[in-house]
Chain A
Amino acid sequence: MTGPDVMFPEEQRQISAVCQRLHRDANAKAVLLIGRDGQPIAEAGEVGEIDVTSLSSLTAGNVAATGGISKILREKDFTSQFHEGEKTHVHITLVAGRAILVVLFDERSSLGLVRLRVRKATGELARLFEQVAKKAAASTGHSILNEITDADIDKLFND
């Protein structure tokens, strides 16, 4: 088993900036970045009405299921998916096998524009995730986890 996935404040700030730029450049309703196991990482745009936790978990399940289908078909991973709705459309892309980029858009944008802008953003995000991985490898042993005591864990479960 490998260690936990991590995110640091500096990279979080840069990743959020990429999501905000993508939201603007793609004329999207909202942009979400999700960890491969369904943990929300960053968001931009009109997310107030959306249950981000549920959407993240379902999207990760969807991507995992699609990955399973690609294996059965002996295809390489399907790197993107598109769901066409009546009002809202969803574009889903894998980022360097580490995260899932979700763009929600409507008639103010188009699939072509979203695809174009997503391509640029995924390159930047992949670079930032690489940076996070390097930093995490270098900081082994300085994790918050080292500071946790038995008493801290017990306290969490006191009724």
Chain B
Amino acid sequence: MSFINYSSREINCKLVYYGPGLGGKTTNLQFIYAKTSPEAKGKMISLATETERTLFFDFLPLSLGEIRGFKTRFHLYTVPGQVFYDASRKLILKGVDGVVFVADSQIERMEANIESMENLRQNLAEQGYNLDKLPFVIQYNKRDLPNIATVAELHDALNPNNVPEFEARATTGVGVFETLKAIAKAVLTELRRGSGG
């Protein structure tokens, strides 16, 4: 849940990167961390296994600048993608303001994408959120790999509501900031709308 501090004049929001295991959620955050100036970012934390799979979450605090004299800070989280970490995923969704779904474009991961999308919808519902009403964007990652589904196929399978979607290659950064900007903008717009503005 966003936090507005009228004393320190800050707006804080929570973004969660969701999606199937090995889809590139952590890579998105790593690229953002690497390409952001030191004064705009905090330390990136990764709670990972010995084999560098996300165990609980990755965390990256980012400052995007000021709106009307209020600093806007975004806390970026990833969830562990592996199916058996579902309890952890539910916890990380608590208080979420916006979701990025990082889909793996490879044909063999299509089923994992669909399963993860259903899991997202269900876990959000358990926290009292409706995915259709939450700021939400989809990223089709790994567009550089062979044997990938077309964007039209991915769209048909994952994006029935036509939310903003982006092609990406997170290892080289293609599409990473476009995705981040789109979700951050959607969150701020929704915050304003929710306040009656």
Whether chain B is bound by chain A comes out as yes
Which residues of A, 51-77, contact B by the 8 Å Cβ criterion?
51, 53-54, 57-58, 61, 64-65, 67-68
User: Which interface class (under 10, 10 to 19, 20 to 34, 35 or more) fits A?
Assistant: 35 or more
Contact with A along B77-90 (1 / 0, CB 8 A): 00000000001101
- Smallest Cβ distance from A99 to chain B, in angstroms? 11
B-contacting 9-mer, from A30-38, A83-91, A111-119: A30-38
What's the tally of chain B residues with a CB closer than 8 Å to chain A? Answer: 48
B-contacting 9-mer, from A17-25, A100-108, A139-147: A139-147
Q: Is A96 an interface residue (CB 8 A)?
A: no
Known contacts A58-B45, A156-B67, A156-B72: A145-B195 contact under CB 8 Å = yes
The reply to whether B194 and A8 form a contact with Cβ atoms under 8 Å apart is no
Known contacts A65-B56, A148-B192: A9-B7 contact under CB 8 Å = yes
Chain A residues whose C-beta falls within 8 Å of the C-beta of B57 in the assembled complex: 61
Known contacts A7-B4, A148-B68, A156-B72: A57-B195 contact under CB 8 Å = no
Chain A residues whose C-beta falls within 8 Å of the C-beta of B142 in the assembled complex: none
- Chain B interface secondary structure, helix, strand, loop or mixed? mixed
Q: Is A153 an interface residue (CB 8 A)?
A: yes
Q: How far is the CA of A53 from the CA of B72 in the complex (A)?
A: 15
Known contacts A64-B91, A148-B188: A38-B195 contact under CB 8 Å = no
The reply to whether A6 and B5 form a contact with Cβ atoms under 8 Å apart is yes
Known contacts A6-B5, A68-B87, A143-B197: A153-B67 contact under CB 8 Å = yes
Chain B residues whose C-beta falls within 8 Å of the C-beta of A80 in the assembled complex: none
From B14, which residue of chain A is reached at the shortest CB distance? A37
Q: How far is the CA of A9 from the CA of B1 in the complex (A)?
A: 20
The reply to whether A51 and B42 form a contact with Cβ atoms under 8 Å apart is yes
Q: Is A5 an interface residue (CB 8 A)?
A: yes
Q: Is A1 an interface residue (CB 8 A)?
A: yes
The reply to whether B4 and A6 form a contact with Cβ atoms under 8 Å apart is yes
The reply to whether B3 and A7 form a contact with Cβ atoms under 8 Å apart is yes
The reply to whether B192 and A6 form a contact with Cβ atoms under 8 Å apart is no
The reply to whether B91 and A12 form a contact with Cβ atoms under 8 Å apart is no
Which residues of B, 51-83, contact A by the 8 Å Cβ criterion?
56-57, 59, 61, 64-65, 67-68, 70, 72, 75
The reply to whether B197 and A57 form a contact with Cβ atoms under 8 Å apart is no
Q: How far is the CA of A6 from the CA of B75 in the complex (A)?
A: 17
The reply to whether A148 and B184 form a contact with Cβ atoms under 8 Å apart is no
Q: Which 6 A-B pairs have the closest CB atoms?
A: A12-B7, A37-B95, A146-B197, A145-B195, A4-B2, A64-B91
6 residue pairs bridging A and B, Cβ less than 8 Å apart: A7-B5, A53-B42, A53-B61, A57-B61, A144-B11, A148-B68
